[in-house]
A = this chain, B = another copy of it.
Amino acid sequence: MNFSSRTDLTIHSGLNDIFKTKDSQTISFAGGLPDNSLFPSEELAKSYNSVITGGDSTVFQYTGKQMPELREKISSKMNDYGVNATADDVLLTQGAQQALSLAAQLLIDKGDGLVVEGPTYIGALAAFDAVEPTFYEVPIEQDGMNIKVLEHILKHHEVKMIYTIPDFQNPTGTVMSVEKRKAMVKLANRYDVMIVEDAAYRDLRFTGTQLPTIKQFDTEDRVIYVGSFSKILAPAMRLGWLVAAPEVRGDLEALKSSADVETSSLTMNAVNDYLEHHDINQHIEEIKTVYCHKKNLMYQALTENMPKDVKFNNPEGGFFIWLELPEKFDMDQFLDDYLLPVANVTLVPSKNLFTSKSIHNGARLNFTQPTNEQIRDGISRLGSALTEYFSTVLV
């Protein structure tokens, strides 16, 4: 039996590999997971209880529509970002992941050009693989995509879609500058390309000034904005959204219903109830305080424990710190041969986060899920492991 050609593209399929551990003692910096203890569990429980014990069994039924009240609340959040969107412009999705999948289905025929950042979110690559694009990769700089490389690609290739994570990029933690956001929209207009702006981490700015969304500079309805409740509320609701112009949204809606019929009525009602009775912005402020502290802790630990020639950044928000070893270093091999089996620490090696010119010497470190103690202990173990690996294995 021959399967479809999309199943040959297995390089990015290991989305769940990041959950790999050795045993219950493993310290994982690999996940993209929020801190359990910060979930507003009691408030969410109340909201669930309220909608399921209200005596209205329709909450368990098919609904046939996307809850207007919830979309209204999301659109008003979008308005706060300077994006001119009504409730109708919001399409609820099964996490941000489904939004990425739908956007790629909308825009890409097999072989069409799709620009991604290098490195980028591995789950996006998995979603895009399913439509078999031709990937073009633009290196990430400290202030986002290298726009000159982007322009060169758009000029010489047939590109349909640009995928970018402008705020606290996954995996590098970088933020795209305002100038580059404007330049990207201009290029998209000139070369007739759509932009998918993945803003899953946008709300989590610890320091510095929030920048305008790319969508805010969108003059020709070319930007599909993608948001998520997974990082600011909790992942198990599997609730994300996209904002797109009416012409685009109709097709996305049809693709959504072909993928899974609809978003759960129970989920929509519970999240809507939560947002009605609680100030999510206040909640976000609270989790930001904790995450900023953890980030500082990890940065400090890295400063104290990394051998020389190891580089790392100090991101202004998000979930991740990016680590870079000397050029010849193979992070995969170090992880498999030493870091996990000997030091019992795990991280995401850089290799699979690229579509072409993979670098093997980088790693993504998550600071939101581990406890303070795990951060201190794990980074110290990482430092010792690197020192030993350099002095013994690599000799």
Interface residues of A (CB under 8 A from B): 1-7, 10, 12-16, 18-19, 31-34, 36-37, 39, 41, 44-45, 48-49, 52-53, 57-65, 94-95, 97-98, 101, 105-110, 112, 123, 126-127, 129-131, 160, 192, 194, 222, 230, 234-238, 248, 251, 253-255, 257-267
Partner of A37, one of B57, B106, B123, B251: B57
Partner of A260, one of B3, B97, B108: B97
Please give me the residue from chain B that is nearest to A131 by CB atom: B4
Please give me the residue from chain B that is nearest to A220 by CB atom: B1
Please report the C-alpha to C-alpha distance between residue A238 and residue B262 in the assembled complex, in whole angstroms.
Answer: 8
- A1–chain B nearest beta-carbon distance, Å: 6
Copies in the complex: 2
Please give me the residue from chain B that is nearest to A127 by CB atom: B258
A58 contacts B36, CB within 8 Å? Answer: yes
Partner of A95, one of B45, B60, B260, B265: B260
User: Counting chain B CB atoms within 10 Å of each CB, which of A49, A248, A258 scores highest?
Assistant: A258
Please report the C-alpha to C-alpha distance between residue A251 and residue B57 in the assembled complex, in whole angstroms.
Answer: 37
User: Counting chain B CB atoms within 10 Å of each CB, which of A4, A13, A52, A130 scores highest?
Assistant: A4
Residues of B close to A261: CB separation below 8 A = 15, 95, 97, 123, 238
- A315–chain B nearest beta-carbon distance, Å: 21
Please report the C-alpha to C-alpha distance between residue A64 and residue B123 in the assembled complex, in whole angstroms.
Answer: 13
Instruction: List 26 A-B residue pairs with CB atoms under 8 Å apart, sorted by A's residue number.
Output: A4-B106, A4-B109, A6-B105, A6-B255, A13-B257, A13-B258, A14-B254, A16-B253, A16-B262, A19-B62, A44-B60, A45-B49, A45-B52, A45-B53, A60-B236, A94-B260, A98-B260, A101-B258, A123-B261, A126-B257, A127-B258, A129-B258, A237-B264, A238-B262, A238-B263, A259-B259
Main secondary structure of the interface of A (DSSP, over half): helix
Please report the C-alpha to C-alpha distance between residue A235 and residue B267 in the assembled complex, in whole angstroms.
Answer: 12
- A278–chain B nearest beta-carbon distance, Å: 15
Residues of B close to A14: CB separation below 8 A = 254
Partner of A101, one of B62, B127, B260: B260
Please give me the residue from chain B that is nearest to A259 by CB atom: B101
Please report the C-alpha to C-alpha distance between residue A234 and residue B1 in the assembled complex, in whole angstroms.
Answer: 36
B60 contacts A109, CB within 8 Å? Answer: no
Contacts A194-B1, A258-B130 known; A7 to B61 CB distance under 8 Å? no
Residues of B close to A37: CB separation below 8 A = 57
Please report the C-alpha to C-alpha distance between residue A112 and residue B6 in the assembled complex, in whole angstroms.
Answer: 13
A61 contacts B235, CB within 8 Å? Answer: yes
A123 contacts B52, CB within 8 Å? Answer: no
Contacts A95-B260, A106-B7 known; A52 to B44 CB distance under 8 Å? yes
Please give me the residue from chain B that is nearest to A40 by CB atom: B60
